[in-house]
Amino acid sequence: MTSTRNVAVLVGSLRKGSFNRLAAHALAELAPTGLKLQIVEIGELPHYNQDEDAAPPAAWTTFRQKIKAADAVLFVTPEYNRSVPGVLKNAIDVGSRPYGQSAWSGKPAAVMSVSPGAIGAFGANHHLRQSLVFLNMPTMQQPEAYVGGAGTMFDEKGAVKNDSTRDFFRSFVEAFAAWIERVSA
């Protein structure tokens, strides 16, 4: 890596004690030198309404600026009803508008889905990838990251307890760093 790459991290869970937020923090700690992961909050974004495009709420403008300023985007999300949580879908919609001015276009992306369940939010991961194709976000394909068993993955301080999980997180974020460089070249 030749310079620092800034990665906007969107966490699809607003829950206090969110496993996805814990995973995002773990990824930030394990990121290689030159990759800075920063969570961009999405919980206070007003619902997207095209009628407000002419005079957008300040929260929309700030959010869009943060995404545009990022070199890449990492999505860390749970699964709600075999899809992404509404708050994450709203953030995607806010960032993609007004039409023709998407903050997402061309940004390298990666998806990690985290769940207490055994299939690791597989449905949300793949549903999100459908949107990323339309948004013109080249998305890392391998390694895939469907992280199950999150209920017992973190210690009382929020750190990953298991060495093999920590190693997987490290290899995932290192692969994402390489993906960003390849796509950005």
Q: Is the peptide bond before 143 cis (omega within 30 degrees of 0)?
A: yes
Question: What is the per-residue pLDDT for 167?
Answer: 97
Within 8 A by CB and 6+ apart from 172, the residues are: 27, 110, 112, 143, 145
**Segment 148-169 mean pLDDT:** 95
Query: How would DSSP label each residue in 21-76?
Result: HHHHHHHHHHPPTTEEEEE---TTPPPP-GGGSSS--HHHHHHHHHHHH-SEEEEE
- Specify the CATH superfamily of domain 5-184: Flavodoxin domain (3.40.50.360)
Question: What is the per-residue pLDDT for 1?
Answer: 45
Assess whether pLDDT exceeds 90 at residue 2. no
Give this prediction's pTM: 0.96
**Segment 10-35 mean pLDDT:** 97
Residue 96: pLDDT band with limits 50, 70, 90? very high
Assess whether pLDDT exceeds 60 at residue 9. yes
**Segment 8-28 mean pLDDT:** 97
Angstrom distance (rounded) from CA 158 to CA 149? 14
Angstrom distance (rounded) from CA 45 to CA 161? 33
Domain definitions of the chain by residue range: 5-184
Question: What is the per-residue pLDDT for 39?
Answer: 98
Calculate ∠ Cα 39-19-85, nearest 5°: 75
**Segment 4-33 mean pLDDT:** 97
Q: What is the pLDDT of residues 49-94, one digit of tens each?
A: 999 999 999 999 999 999 999 999 999 999 999 999 999 999 999 9
- Rg from Cα positions in the chain: 16
Q: What is the pLDDT of residues 106-158, one digit of tens each?
A: 999 999 999 999 888 999 999 999 999 999 999 999 999 999 999 999 999 99
Within 8 A by CB and 6+ apart from 182, the residues are: none
